Amino acid sequence: MASAKLDSAYGKTHPGWQRYVDKNVEYTIFKEDDTFRAMQVIALGKETVSTPLFKKLLMEFGGIKRFQLQSSVDKGDYLMERGVAKGGLSLTIYRKKNDFKVKGLVLYFQ
């Protein structure tokens, strides 16, 4: 997120949320008190979330390297995968069906 710029107007209409955008990815982060509770990452346009970025997000937001996949469901052109990890972290991953590349993900603490 180092190159992403804060969209200061977003938080005014979405209490608790912050939105950051760079040329390839949009990040929205939910903070409750002083604790980060959720992060949504969406690749913009034809871009995808790279494997190194995916791994970095898991480590920096969730403090994890691995997760357990619990379910997978077809959603139009996407495959929606749900999983869990240590520390109460849950995640939802949206993959393009044609190449299985990650288009978006949501990380959140239960």
Tell me: the pLDDT tens digits for 35-65? 899 999 999 999 999 999 999 999 999 999 9
Give the residue extent of every domain in the chain. Answer: 5-109
- Cβ pair 86, 70 in contact under 8 A: no
pLDDT at 29: 96
Tabulate helix, strand, coil % of the chain (nearest 5): 15, 50, 30
Bridge partners of 8, per DSSP, are none
81, 69 Cβ separation under 8 angstroms: yes
What pTM does this model have?
A: 0.91
Cβ-contact 95, 42 below 8 angstroms? no
Q: Which residues of 71-101 are buried (b: 16+ CB within 10 A; e: fewer)?
A: eeeeeeebbebebebeeebbbebbbeeeeee
